[in-house]
Amino acid sequence: RAKAPSNFIRQIVDRDLAAGKNDGRVHTRFPPEPNGYLHVGHAKSICLNFGLAEDYGGKCNLRFDDTNPDKESVEYTESIQEDVHWLGFDWEDRLFFASDYFDQLYEYAEILIRDGKAYVDSLTAEQIREYRGTLSEPGRDSPYRDRPVEENLDLFRRMRAGEFAEGEHVLRAKIDMASPNINMRDPAIYRIKHKPHHRTDDKWCIYPMYDYTHCLSDAIEGVTHSLCTLEFEDHRALYDWFLEQLPVPSRPEQTEFARLNLDYTITSKRKLNELVTEGHVAGWDDPRMPTIIGMRRRGFTPAAIRDFCERIGMTKNDTRIDMAVLETCTREDLDRTAPRAMAVLNPLKVVIENYPEDESETLEAVNHPYDESQGRRQVPFGREIYIERDDFMEDPPKKFFRLGPGREVRLRYAYFITCTDVIKDDNGEVVELRCSYDPATRGGDAPDGRKVKGTIHWVSAEHAVPAEVRLYDRLFTVPKPEADKERDWKSFINPDACVVMDKALLEPALALAPAEKRYQFERLGYFCADRKDHAREHPVFNRIVTLRDSWAK
């Protein structure tokens, strides 16, 4: 992998290295909360953290930020690991869980209490909110703020021992109720939660808060550069405060970057969860979803996603990225790598009347137009073929270079054919074409030098394999479904984001494709054999992207 171009984060790393900080180490981490599946926004963070470590000869940890037993599960920790690997990154032996530090974090909390820097508050959650004040109004001290150290220690130990109900007490840092930064107004460090945890089971009934846990976990792991999204900018003072108060083994620094917002989709776990639970999509891995498993199932490649994350770069202010950027990266990758094949999505039968009855032949086709190493294949051809219904017009305009009555086109890798007759059913619907072919044009060129403007794809009727082809498109019809205050964002779901073509026909080689194999179906787009549903007896392909950007009108 080529080293990524510089950006403001790399400049910070360069500056730190030049200044001799951290003994020249670069150590990052990707810290997901295991409360859902990863999405394309997380991919940006993964590429940033693992990419930085790779380029600087450093290390990157995978750390689960598992401090809230309410929404977390082993299912999510497993899927997240699989997604990171699939994207092409590896944490080696550095898989960590914040919950592994619960003992240490508890010890640190007792230190804060003993130093008079934390206290047990017995106000209700609502009172605490009231006392906190607002941006324009300072907070007020809790009546429990000056509890003696011994009483705080006793209460905190009893909180741990399970003597109190949820919400009865919290442990708070004692910082400054008048701070202009609300995060510094005595934030909670521990809350009571009588819930078993997916790793520590019922060992704990108090759980540390995110802001307290995160900086300490970074310090325990020797992380040097703790990269997070912009909404944590106002939390940085708190991040530093904890590290300054406690005897931590290292001194990480937090730097914020803009989160990825992608047009025509959403990147919020909560909202994606809503789509799944309300049945708007078939699951987390629905190919319309911007989750990593959804994108994987659709057929997006790890290389294209990594390239995308690199191209969008790192900024300090929130921007929206056009979905077309991801699609372009995907087309570029697949153009280079995907073998070509022929499939007809909406078939129209063609009988070549002057082709000998009961005969067939095989024609040679190149698998890739400029990658010779992909070789060649044999494609069967016969008297009856299917072409795309859209490739015929009974009364075509001048610029229509495909088939029409009396017109001649080239069949890809095969012959020139001319339409001699159009057969219709009782409703006037075209059901079949009669054509003649020119045997001298085998392979696609006429010895007499005559030209045809159009080349169309086809499959042999006798050999074609029936298949289901799912045409996926963008999940929403508008770039920012969340921006409209009048309408529910879900009312912008694109009803045509999945169109199933269940009468599609494939050239026979495609039925043998292994799951997840990607192809360019000539003239149609890039397609991927579905991970779950594709089988030799019932081939299923997903459209990843069209060949051109049809949205940019």
Catalytic annotation, residues: 33, 259, 269
> Cα–Cα distance between 34 and 28 in angstroms, integer?
19
**Which of 10, 22, 26, 42 is the binder for ligand ATP (CB under 6 A)?**
42
Note whether 484 and 406 are within 8 A (CB).
Answer: no
Distance separating alpha carbons of residues 394 and 305, to the nearest angstrom: 43
By CB under 6 A, is residue 228 in contact with ligand ATP? Answer: yes
> Toward ligand ATP, which CB reaches closer, 31 or 69?
31
Q: Where are the alpha helices (DSSP H) in 411-489?
A: none
Q: Compute and round to an integer the Cα radius of gyration of the chain.
A: 31
Whether the Cβ atoms of residue 76 and residue 37 lie closer than 8 Å to each other: yes
Stretch that binds ligand ATP, among 28-36, 129-137, 341-349, 498-506 (CB under 6 A): 28-36
d(Cα 106, Cα 155) in Å, to the nearest integer? 14
Cα gap 508→343, rounded to integer Å: 9
Nearer to ligand ATP, 71 or 140 (CB): 71
Examine residue 61 and tell whether it contacts ligand ATP (CB under 6 A).
Answer: no
Taking the complex as a whole, the smallest distance from the CB of residue 97 to ligand ATP amounts, in Å, to 13
Give residues 265-304 in contact with ligand ATP (rule: CB under 6 A).
267-269
Closer Cβ to ligand ATP, 158 or 270, answer by number: 270
Of the candidates 358, 352, 534, 548, the residue with the CA atom closest to the CA atom of residue 458: 352
CB of 72 to ligand ATP, least distance (A): 10
Asked if 260 touches ligand ATP (CB under 6 A), the answer is: yes
Q: Which amino acid is at 375?
A: G
Is 229 a residue that touches ligand ATP (CB under 6 A)? Answer: yes
How far apart are the C-alpha atoms of 82 and 87, rounded to whole Å? 9
Rounded to the nearest 10°, the torsion over CA 42, 45, 46, 51 is 160
Which region, judged by CB under 6 A, interacts with ligand ATP, from 30-38, 115-123, 247-255, 455-463?
Answer: 30-38
Encoded one letter per residue, x for contact with ligand ATP by CB under 6 A and - for no contact, window 466-485 reads --------------------
16, 25, 33, 280: which one contacts ligand ATP (CB under 6 A)? 33
> 170: buried, middle or exposed (CB in 10 Å: 19+, 13-18, 0-12)?
buried
Residue 501 CA to residue 136 CA, distance in Å, equals: 59
Q: Which is nearer to ligand ATP, 186 or 263 (CB)?
A: 263
How many whole angstroms separate alpha carbon 132 and alpha carbon 184? 10
Does 41 participate in binding ligand ATP (rule CB under 6 A)?
yes
Between 34 and 347, name the residue whose CB sits nearer to ligand ATP.
34
| Single residue of 4, 22, 37, 44 touching ligand ATP by CB under 6 A | 44
In the bound state with ligand ATP, the residue whose beta carbon lies nearer, of 68 and 520, is: 68
Question: Does 28 sit near ligand ATP (CB under 6 A)?
Answer: no
User: To which H or E segment does residue 119 belong?
Assistant: strand 118-121
Q: Which residues are known binding-site members for L-glutamine?
A: 65, 210
Q: Is there binding between residue 441 and ligand ATP (CB under 6 A)?
A: no
CA distance 168 to 156: 12
> Which span sits near ligand ATP by CB under 6 A: 264-272, 314-322, 428-436, 537-545?
264-272
Q: What angle do CA 417, 420, 423 make, to 5 degrees?
A: 115
Question: Which parts of this chain interact with ligand ATP (CB under 6 A)?
Answer: 31-33, 41-42, 44-45, 65, 228-229, 259-260, 267-269
